[in-house]
A and B are shown apart, each in its own frame.
Chain A
């Protein structure tokens, strides 16, 4: 196969692309990571929650858009992100409070429950919006390209990198600098002990689940200018989330950020070297990390928090 020479400007573009995609993966994955670290719930419906966010976001976007061209002003996209996040928040809140909470003592049933939720959420989405892809979301204010070392680079990717960095910064601040963050980090180690200090951990569980789903939903809507909105998103998101979280280590927000960027870069660079099997690369990477270093590549002491 003929591959163009990997020039320096191209290398920079691939790097930036990888980081931009990595930001999306961070948004989608960070909730699952913290939820697992804190509550030991592996939420298989996490990808579906992301997808619901994308669909709701799209609906909000279209409220203000031009149906003929599929475009809408930039502020409508901001509203779409917000709307999708709110949908995710409500979905996460209800799921934790009414479905997951009664099952904390039965871990296998928690897995089964979230599997069932995949079917319920995915099919409900198809019921409301149909099975065909919904077309790209075009935000004129964020379209176009700029010149980076002579290579065109999409403005939207610059937006993604900035938005992603902002969200990474926010999560880092919440986890490391606020009381809720202290409770989360403590709860990842021993939530019973946190309870005995007079803290209602269950409330924090609900909150974390809701915010995790909200971030995933944001990630869902933020991908739509690339991929459009389609029902296969949920499965894609789920697998990518697992890969990110395994690489980064469960329960760690910093690890998730690093794992997400790692996956973004792998996906950008792998096709240059192994074009035929690039698709299977990330999954193999996940399997290898699980076998060799199940606590994640970026954990220092085998402990996971922070």
Chain B
């Protein structure tokens, strides 16, 4: 079943025409990786889905329902969790408060706490610390956990590996693979190791257009395609 669909999405930031007709189809379950060079429009695509940017043209549908042009909070309430590139951790809030904020119904965090701690055991130790005191990796775990507090059909995760130590990236890969049975993930990732270790399907964006898509194993084999669109990043096979 198609969970998320983008059809001919055009998005401007100021006067810049960033997305110039993005088409994408994300099936329920699994991890879809969005790849492409810096400035290809990956982050803008996520922002256009969650509603932080309003597409000027095109359609975004979630489970058949149009969500483009709706304010971000309404889109999120449809069941989308968003983890931005800068992680969006509230530095003056404790870990617990950061997570509580994501509740859409009272008691959701309590119901989910055990699962989150199993996924990221570190969180428990920092439960009452301020978000600003956490390391980058811990912040990333908090940000992903926060998207898991409500029952989200879809997670949008923007470059989780950025600036993190290899060991933390491995932990994230493990977590994403575990989450597959629970939700659908759209992952923007420059780190090809993390992309290939977790991805089921891929889309490649270039200059604001979707130029390639397919199953991840095919991309892993196709070094020519990797070199053409992913440049240097693709060479970083292992971390």
The interface of chain A, by Cβ under 8 A from chain B, is 179, 182-183, 185-186, 188-190, 192-202, 301, 303, 305-306
Contacts and interface: CB of A to CB of B under 8 A. Distances in A.
A185 B93 contact: yes
- 9 closest pairs, A vs B, by CB? A198-B76, A193-B88, A195-B72, A196-B82, A305-B92, A186-B90, A198-B77, A200-B73, A195-B73
B84 to A, nearest CB: 7
Nearest to A190: B88
Contacts of A194: 101
Contacts of B71: 195, 200, 202
B82 A182 contact: no
B180 to A, nearest CB: 22
B50 interface: yes
A303 B50 CA distance: 27
A39 to B, nearest CB: 16
A186 B93 contact: yes
Contacts of B92: 185, 188-189, 303, 305-306
Interface of B: 50-52, 71-73, 76-77, 82, 84, 88, 90-93, 97-98, 100-102, 104, 132, 146, 150
Considering residues B50, B73, B100, which has the most beta carbons from chain A within 10 angstroms of its beta carbon? Answer: B73
A206 to B, nearest CB: 14
Given A185-B93, A192-B72, A201-B73, 8 more contacts: A185-B90, A185-B92, A186-B98, A189-B91, A195-B52, A196-B72, A198-B104, A200-B73
A301 B132 contact: yes
A194 B91 CA distance: 13
Nearest to A179: B100
B52 A183 contact: no
Say what secondary structure dominates the interface of chain A: helix
Nearest to B102: A197
Nearest to A201: B73
Nearest to A305: B92
Contacts of A185: 90, 92-93, 97
Contacts of B146: 197
A174 to B, nearest CB: 14
A296 to B, nearest CB: 14
Contact of A198 (B52, B88, B97, B150): B150
A197 B101 contact: yes
A196 B70 CA distance: 12
Given A182-B93, A193-B88, A303-B92, A198 B132 contact: no
A24 B213 CA distance: 64
Q: Which of A192, A201, A303 has the most CB of B within 10 A?
A: A192
A199 B88 contact: no
Contact of B132 (A188, A199, A303): A303
A196 B52 contact: yes
B101 A186 contact: yes
A194 B76 CA distance: 10
B76 A197 contact: yes
Contacts of B98: 186
Nearest to A306: B92
A267 B97 CA distance: 39
A183 B90 contact: no
Contacts of A201: 73
Contact of B76 (A188, A196, A303): A196
Contacts of B52: 192, 195-196
Contacts of A190: 88, 90
Nearest to B76: A198
Contacts of B97: 182, 185
14 contacts: A182-B97, A182-B101, A185-B97, A189-B90, A189-B91, A190-B88, A192-B72, A195-B51, A195-B72, A195-B76, A196-B73, A197-B102, A200-B71, A303-B91
Nearest to A195: B72
A66 B140 CA distance: 65
A200 B50 CA distance: 14
Nearest to B146: A197
A301 B133 CA distance: 12
A194 B50 CA distance: 12
Contacts of B76: 195-198
